[in-house]
Homo-oligomer: A and B are copies of this chain.
Amino acid sequence: MEVQPLDRRVQRTRAALAQALLELASERPFADLTVRELTDRADIGYATFFRHYPNKEALLLDVLSGIVDDLTTLLEPMADAGRLDDAGRELFEYVAAHAARLRVLLAVEHGSAVEHALRAAVRARVLASGTFRPPEGVPEDLAAHHLSVSSLALVTWWLEHQMPYDARQMGAIYARLVVRPTRDR
């Protein structure tokens, strides 16, 4: 809960680390990166890294946090009524706009902290929306789980295949494969 603006140096240091992470993770699997590589690329001292993050996973989650917020916001309406195709299109437009960063983050060994955090956030948001009504006989919790996992799976597939369809098409597919089946009617 850092409220007061951090020392400008601190911000610069963290920004450099975030940038280094994105660069390196787009070259090699995140799990392979070493703290030394990150600090060398960011041009900061090795020990300085640990003054900001306890380990590289913490850095990753920090870099992620903004994205997670955006994605959960975009996924929430999926639980809601009407305009499903529009909501789906908007989701994939957002993904396309942040493709570089998302590619890195979702490629982080499909699963692990990132996917887990994302899924939990999406699920919590969907369940909290109050408007999510899964079909008869399908438990709400299970439907939310399915929704979050499948949504990410589609996004990941799209990114990994160089976005072969446009956002509107993906929105329609998404509505058909994922969203509608989790809805009452």
| A interface residue numbers (CB < 8 A to B) | 109-112, 115-116, 135, 137-139, 141-143, 145-146, 149-150, 153-154, 157, 161, 164-165, 169, 172-173, 176-178, 180-182
Q: Which residues of B contact A173 (CB under 8 A)?
A: 137-139, 142
Q: Which residues of B contact A142 (CB under 8 A)?
A: 154, 157, 173
21 CB contacts below 8 A, A to B, read A109-B112, A110-B111, A110-B112, A110-B116, A111-B112, A112-B112, A135-B176, A137-B169, A137-B173, A137-B176, A138-B173, A139-B165, A141-B161, A142-B154, A145-B153, A146-B157, A176-B181, A177-B181, A177-B182, A180-B181, A181-B181
Q: Which residues of B contact A182 (CB under 8 A)?
A: 177
Kindly provide the distance from the CB of A74 to the nearest chain B CB, expressed in whole angstroms. Answer: 19
Given contacts A138-B177, A142-B157, A146-B150, 19 further A-B contacts (CB under 8 A): A110-B110, A110-B111, A110-B115, A110-B116, A135-B176, A137-B169, A137-B173, A138-B173, A139-B164, A139-B165, A142-B154, A145-B153, A146-B153, A146-B177, A149-B149, A149-B153, A150-B150, A176-B181, A180-B181
Rounded to whole angstroms, the CA-CA distance of A153 and B157 in the bound complex is 16
Interface secondary structure of A, over-half rule = helix
Rounded to whole angstroms, the CA-CA distance of A139 and B157 in the bound complex is 12
